[in-house]
Amino acid sequence: MRVHKRTEITIETNEVLVVRRTKVYRGWCPHCARKVDMVELPEARAMAGMSVESVDLAGSAKWHLFEEQEPALVCLESVLRAMAKK
């Protein structure tokens, strides 16, 4: 009688995104109902891997975007949540 050995290897990975920019704003996000860090729209697109010139915001449909401000700001929490769901 032959005995077969089976070895199973499980690898877990985590990803950490560190944002070190001088232009991180702190403001109230009504969607999150708290104060959050906000970044400019081109910065958010760069973090998400979108081209800066991209007009298509389909990938950013769940971002909390504040265009009425100059510059347009995006809630960093919403960007990170959208990236985690990919």
DSSP H or E segment with residue 77: helix 76-84
- The predicted structure's pLDDT at residue 28: 92
- The predicted structure's pLDDT at residue 58: 44
- The predicted structure's pLDDT at residue 81: 85
pLDDT digits 0-9 by tens, 67-84: 887 888 999 899 888 877
Supply 6's token pair. 């089976």
Higher pLDDT, 8 or 61: 8
> What is the DSSP pairing of strand 65-66 with strand 25-29?
unpaired
Domain ranges across the chain: 25-84
pLDDT digits 0-9 by tens, 28-71: 999 999 999 998 888 888 888 776 555 445 455 788 988 887 88
